[in-house]
Structure 1
Amino acid sequence: LQSQELGKHLLGVDALLQLQALLEADVAAQAERVRAVGAAARRFTEDGQDYQPCEPAVVRERVATLELRYQALVDLAGKRRARLEESRRLWKFLWDTGEDEAWMKEQERLLSSEDVGRDLTSSLRLLSQHDAFRGEQSGRAAPLRHALAQGRALVAQGLLGTTEVAQRIQELETHWEALNGLAGQRERRLREAVAFFQFQAEATDAEAWLEDALRLVASPELGRDEYSTLRLARQHRELQDEVRGHRRALEALQEQARALTAAFAAAPGVSERLEELGKRYRELEERAERRRRRLQDALSLYTMRSEADACGLWVSEKEQWLHAMDIPEKLEDLEVVQQRFETLEQEVNNLESRVANVNRVAEELLGTEQSDKESVRATREELNARWERFRALAEQKKDALTSALNVQNFHLEC
């Protein structure tokens, strides 16, 4: 119990405490014997005994000495336990904080890594690992604060190993502060790398989309008739809407590039890719507009031909009617024919505006890059010629009808 050995580590202290428990149990076991000796000695210390083998004072002195020495042993055991418990608190603090310090040193080594990934996937994986570290660090913060508080309590009590405890507290606080600084730097580098690789990935997607869109607007297909051309024009309008929508994506790429750090912004290909993307986008807009005009011209051509055919069909029907029409002699029949002519004149006025519209569209087509200009001229000239012939025939029939009506009216008046 008078040993000065207090252990050189936590396991050693625990072993000494186990030994101390055995000693205390042994000491406690002697308590009953000491009490028994005291009880047995009373009959030798009582006055009036016939036989006294020893002086009562001597017996009392021996009993008192025994009890004092036993109590001293108990006190010594208590002091020994207190010192061992104190030693255990010290080594427990050093053990716990030693684990924390080892963890922090390992994390400092990992956080000092220059690896930020080779592409977006690897950078995101590293960032996810860093987020996991942040979670672990947050989980360790409260136990560390508790351990440091215990260490400060040891220092305040001036117990065993105060200097070592104070030094360990300072080292831990320094490591923790350094760890926070390294973690912030590591996170910043990783987020910068993720932003760069995100820019690269989105630039690649934009380049692929531009290539597909340029291939679509370069198509020579303009449709075979009005219906197919209308379908192509509708698809092209949707493509142009998509092109306009991608302008914001390209502007976002510009913003991403401006947000990159100087090191990443100066990386090979960043400014060149942005410049090339802008150039290709402008080329796409120009080609898309040219294709829109070509589709519109093709649609106008098919519409003009369709309208010209419809006008020609109407002219053919009315020409047949005019050629087959004979001027009657009776006044009643003449009046019926006259009513039909009045209806025809209304239809002629309506058709005249349609013929004029065909001529207007034809004139517009002749002023464009339309490759089928000869066909446009031929269609216009054929329609105009048939229209003029029809007008002449209608005027001729109308004049004949008017003359016949005048004759019949003259006979009627006379």
Structure 2
Amino acid sequence: VWQDWWKVEVNDRQGFVPAAYVKKLDPAQSASRENLLEEQGSIALRQEQIDNQTRITKEAGSVSLRMKQVEELYHSLLELGEKRKGMLEKSCKKFMLFREANELQQWINEKEAALTSEEVGADLEQVEVLQKKFDDFQKDLKANESRLKDINKVAEDLESEGLMAEEVQAVQQQEVYGMMPRDETDSKTASPWKSARLMVHTVATFNSIKELNERWRSLQQLAEERSQLLGSAHEVQRFHRDADETKEWIEEKNQALNTDNYGHDLASVQALQRKHEGFERDLAALGDKVNSLGETAERLIQSHPESAEDLQEKCTELNQAWSSLGKRADQRKAKLGDSHDLQRFLSDFRDLMSWINGIRGLVSSDELAKDVTGAEALLERHQEHRTEIDARAGTFQAFEQFGQQLLAHGHYASPEIKQKLDILDQERADLEKAWVQRRMMLDQCLELQLFHRDCEQAENWMAAREAFLNTEDKGDSLDSVEALIKKHEDFDKAINVQEEKIAALQAFADQLIAAGHYAKGDISSRRNEVLDRWRRLKAQMIEKRSKLGESQTLQQFSRDVDEIEAWISEKLQTASDESYKDPTNIQLICASTSVY
């Protein structure tokens, strides 16, 4: 029912009117309407004065006077029109001022309620949403600042025109609230009192503009406080977000450390170490972030004591996570270092074992020389292997020291390291043994070849003498026989000299056999062959000497016979010579005969 009927009051009289025939007016609009009604009343009053004056003029009956009166009335009408125009313009300005001031006042009321809210958001996203709304409000505040400037300018213009001051003064003079009648049904008296009400409303509006400026400054102060509050909340929530993100990064780095891969060879370990160096560079940047967050937390604890507990708790969690990550990173670095040492140790072990196997293949060769030159070459080459082995002694010593150092430091692979050290020591000892055995073999080979050479030389020597001894030449004359004997005597001297060599050869062979030479059977056979041949040679030499002696005797006898035969022939010839018959030759013949 009350929505269909409105209660109204006019001239202290109350009643009900259908809602469709009335509406609620803005106070400023009501004042303007009253002002217009007042002006209409003034015009009607003036028209009544004009009508009275016209009636008086008619009564005067003077045309010229009437014309003058008409002109005066016309000018008066023009003045009234200009006056009305000015009043309408001022009324319009005041109406616009009232409306703008009222709207801005309502906007300030709305924003004050929002700015006095203590809500700052529970996380960074909510804070950023509130900050976005506040940024939009700041834009509106900036835009409405120009509205306030326009309102103040209009108010200043009205005040400068004296309108405000005149109305205020009029109200004060009439003592509006004490003189205003309650019954304003008379239109002649109602209009002035309505003007008085309008002036009172104008004064209220003028005071409202002052209040509006004060509330505007208060709103700006609230905005500044809200900005600081949101800024602080944003900084705190951003710290929490950055701390959470940093913890997530730390957890990612922790996950990256959850691996048992420490490399399977030196190259892979070195690759993992380079990767870990990059990981540590990332940790350095992450450490700077953690330190920065720690400094931020200390500053926020000082500036936001109400959040000190949460900030301290978050900072403690972050530092614990960072410390744990640093320890794990150091442990992995140390483990990679140990793995690198192990792989370097194993790599050196493999290199040394490969070298040992290679050199052992050389020093364990079954190759044997077939002559002295070859044996000497093999010995020389074997000695070069000795030089190479000795040159590697420093490497073996360094490897041994490195392994012992790892064992002393309690390396996680100490059993394997100890095993490799023992294996290498044994292999090195075996190599040394193989070299010594090969050297003994090569020495025996050289001795064997020297023995064979001596045997060959002896056999060659004996072969040359055997050819002499086996010849049937016994000489066909005493001279030739004597020459053969002389040659045999030289041969006999050579035999004596060669006897020493044969004896040395026999002693050398006996020595090799006694020393357990690998070819002692061959040596014994060859020795026996040489000695048998030597004995045969000496027997042939004796036989040959005997034959030459017999030949010498025979040839001596033959020569003596020949000489006797020649002498006999010579004497027979002399005896049968008849030259003695010549007396001249008697003396010579006698001399020859006496000699014979």
Q: 2:199 aligns with which of 51, 54, 59?
A: 54
Q: Secondary structure at the match of 2:119?
A: coil
Conservation of the 8 A alpha-carbon contact between 2:375 and 2:446? yes
Q: 1:246 to 1:379 in 2, by over 3 A?
A: farther
In structure 2, C-alpha distance between the alignment counterparts of 1:357 and 1:7, rounded to whole Å: 117
Task: Give RMSD over aligned pairs.
Answer: 4.8
In structure 1, C-alpha distance between the alignment counterparts of 2:456 and 2:417, rounded to whole Å: 58
Deviation at residue 29 of structure 1 after TM alignment: 0.7
1:84 equivalent to 2:262? Answer no
Deviation at residue 236 of structure 1 after TM alignment: 2.1
Report the residue type matching 1:76 in the other structure. L
* CA offsets 1:61-105 (integer angstroms, 9 cap, x no match): 122111112222222222212111111211221122212212223
Q: Which residue of 2 aligns with 1:8?
A: 122
Conservation of the 8 A alpha-carbon contact between 1:44 and 1:54? no
In structure 1, C-alpha distance between the alignment counterparts of 2:537 and 2:279, rounded to whole Å: 87
Q: 1:373 aligns with which of 520, 523, 548?
A: 523
- Pairing 1:236-385 to 2, within 5 Å after superposition: 236-258=382-404, 259-260=406-407, 262=410, 264=412, 267=415, 271-302=418-449, 365=512, 368-370=515-517, 371=519, 372-374=522-524, 377=527
Q: Which runs of 5+ in 1 are unaligned?
A: 324-328, 330-340, 342-350, 393-414
Conservation of the 8 A alpha-carbon contact between 1:9 and 1:91? yes
Q: 1:367 to 1:244 in 2, by over 3 A?
A: farther
Q: Which residue of 2 aligns with 1:138?
A: 284
Report the residue type matching 2:441 in the other structure. R
Matched residue count? 381
Q: Secondary structure at the match of 2:232?
A: helix
In structure 1, C-alpha distance between the alignment counterparts of 2:428 and 2:157, rounded to whole Å: 119
Q: 1:154 to 1:263 in 2, by over 3 A?
A: same
Q: 1:119 aligns with which of 264, 282, 307?
A: 264
In structure 1, C-alpha distance between the alignment counterparts of 2:251 and 2:371, rounded to whole Å: 77
Conservation of the 8 A alpha-carbon contact between 1:154 and 1:162? yes
Identity, % of aligned positions: 20
Q: 1:310 to 1:120 in 2, by over 3 A?
A: same
Q: 1:194 to 1:385 in 2, by over 3 A?
A: farther
Deviation at residue 199 of structure 1 after TM alignment: 3.8
In structure 2, C-alpha distance between the alignment counterparts of 1:16 and 1:353, rounded to whole Å: 125
Q: Secondary structure at the match of 2:368?
A: coil
Report the residue type matching 2:219 in the other structure. L
Q: 2:144 aligns with which of 30, 41, 65?
A: 30
Q: Which residue of 1 aligns with 2:253?
A: 107
**Structure-2-length-normalised TM-score:** 0.51
In structure 2, C-alpha distance between the alignment counterparts of 1:353 and 1:13, rounded to whole Å: 120
* CA offsets 1:206-264 (integer angstroms, 9 cap, x no match): 44544444443332211233444344333322333333344444444543443236574
* CA offsets 1:129-179 (integer angstroms, 9 cap, x no match): 433322221222223222221221111223663322222222222222222
Q: 1:11 to 1:289 in 2, by over 3 A?
A: same
Deviation at residue 19 of structure 1 after TM alignment: 2.1
1:66 equivalent to 2:180? Answer no
Q: Secondary structure at the match of 1:223?
A: coil
Q: Which residue of 1 aligns with 2:43?
A: none
Deviation at residue 374 of structure 1 after TM alignment: 3.2
Q: Which residue of 1 aligns with 2:9?
A: none
Q: 1:386 to 1:190 in 2, by over 3 A?
A: farther
1:182 equivalent to 2:328? Answer yes
* CA offsets 1:301-349 (integer angstroms, 9 cap, x no match): 43565577679889999999xx9xxxxx9xxxxxxxxxxx9xxxxxxxx
Q: 1:358 to 1:36 in 2, by over 3 A?
A: farther
Conservation of the 8 A alpha-carbon contact between 2:509 and 2:524? no
Q: 1:386 to 1:44 in 2, by over 3 A?
A: farther
In structure 2, C-alpha distance between the alignment counterparts of 1:57 and 1:357, rounded to whole Å: 156
Report the residue type matching 2:383 in the other structure. R
1:218 equivalent to 2:364? Answer yes
Name the larger-Rg structure.
2
* CA offsets 1:163-211 (integer angstroms, 9 cap, x no match): 2222222222222222222222333333334434544454455445444
In structure 1, C-alpha distance between the alignment counterparts of 2:533 and 2:283, rounded to whole Å: 87
Q: Which residue of 1 aligns with 2:131?
A: 17
Report the residue type matching 1:3 in the other structure. S
Q: 1:306 to 1:104 in 2, by over 3 A?
A: same
Structure number with greater CO (CA < 8 Å, separation at least 6) is: 1
Q: 1:368 to 1:63 in 2, by over 3 A?
A: same
Q: 1:43 to 1:264 in 2, by over 3 A?
A: closer
Deviation at residue 288 of structure 1 after TM alignment: 0.8
Q: Which residue of 2 aligns with 1:405?
A: none
**Structure-1-length-normalised TM-score:** 0.70
In structure 2, C-alpha distance between the alignment counterparts of 1:11 and 1:385, rounded to whole Å: 123
